[in-house]
Amino acid sequence: MEKFTRTLRFAAAVSLLPALIVPQAFAWGSDGHRMIAHAAAVALPADVPAFLKTPETIATLEYLTVEPDERWRQSDAEPELSAAQAPEHYINLETADLVGPLPRRRYDFLRALDAAQKTHPDMAANLTEKVGLQPWVTNEVWERLKAAFREYRKETAAKQDTHAVELTIIFYTGWLSHYVGDGSMPLHTTVMHDGWIGPNPNGYTTVGGIHSKFESVYVHANIVRGDFQSLIPAQPKVIGDEFDDYLAYLRHSNTLVEQTYILFKAGGFTGTGTPEGKAFTDERLAAGAAQLRDMIVAAWVQSALPVKQYVSPETKIPRPPEK
């Protein structure tokens, strides 16, 4: 299999950027996202709060995981919301890497991207809206979840009613599940998101359609809940630095872009597809569920770590305790 090279990445990201300003499609469709959320919840270990594993919670997570696609991207109804959050579903790594090591904060990245754009006048205009913000939104939602878990621990220790914070945790988990699921779909990590760009000696498709035919049409017709549950490792991996871990997850997905095109060319996602196409799809869905399960566990574990008392940057006065 032909490997991506830095030359190809740079060529695709810079010399061909004017053709790459079409926003990406939805990832996995409703079916894939719901199955990822369900599989991750079922795979949660016994030491996370029990309310996260009830049938009612799992059904709610399946509902919430499609929120960013099905309810926040109706551009005619909420155009500002759709425009603002559309880039959060993907990251074109070939383009993003032009800034060097990716900063941990989204605005640092956008400033670095703006600086890179000034040194490459052939870059597309308004590139900041087209390169994608996937790792940053995922990190920000994950930190929301961790903060909510910390509040749950505090209220539990104080023997207070935890119903409200449980609802908050469930919402953040469902929200997080969408973006983590997006990240397991290789075409959400690349400028090749819906057609091959650049040198094409193997004759991969260059026209739109591969994205939705794989993630939505094929998945809907051929994958059912439970198909990939056994592929999720029994034990969660230990996550120390969530941002670095998630970038590694995205970069692994990116290594599978060409394999996606190879399978598509061979009919792997047409009709009932091929055994290779089914195995690849199951593995990618399982990877999303495993990553989501592991990030939920990491948020829970890290919520037990002590934190410094918040101090107002304006007054330098600590925040008063809640009543």
Confidence band (pLDDT; 50, 70, 90) for 116? confident
For residue 240, what are the CA distances in angstroms to 82, 248, 295, 312?
33, 13, 10, 28
CA-closest candidate to residue 184, choices 79, 273, 257: 257
**pLDDT confidence of 10, banded at 50, 70, 90?**
very low
User: What is d(CA 84, CA 272) in angstroms, rounded to the nearest whole number?
Assistant: 36
Tokens 């950027």 belong to which residue? Answer: 17
Segment 253-301, tens digit of pLDDT: 999 999 999 999 999 999 999 999 999 999 999 999 999 999 999 999 9
Specify whether the CB–CB gap between 52 and 169 falls below 8 A: yes
- Give residue 39's pLDDT: 98
DSSP at 86: G
Give the model's confidence band at 12: pLDDT under 50 very low, under 70 low, under 90 confident, else very high: very low
Contact present, 27 and 185 (Cβ < 8 Å): yes
Provide the β-strand partners of residue 195. Answer: 193
Residue 139, token pair as written in the block: 């990190």
Q: Which tens digits make up the pLDDT trace of 69-101?
A: 888 987 788 999 998 999 999 999 999 998 999
Amino acid at residue number 75: S
- What is the dihedral sign for C-alpha 184, 190, 192, 198? negative
Q: Using an 8 Å Cβ cutoff, are 206 and 200 in contact?
A: yes
pTM: 0.88
Start-end of H helices in 101-209: 106-119, 134-157, 163-183
Catalogue all structural domains in the chain, each as residue range(s) with its CATH number.
6-302 (1.10.575)
pLDDT in tens, 29-80: 899 999 999 999 999 999 999 999 999 999 999 999 999 988 898 778 899 9
pLDDT range class, residue 175, cuts 50, 70, 90: very high
Q: What is the 3-state secondary structure (H, E, C) of 235-297?
A: CCCCCCCHHHHHHHHHHHHHCCHHHHHHHHHCCCCCCCCCHHHHHHHHHHHHHHHHHHHHHHH
Distance CA 24, CA 89 (A): 8
Q: How far is 33 from 223, CA to CA, in rounded Å?
A: 12
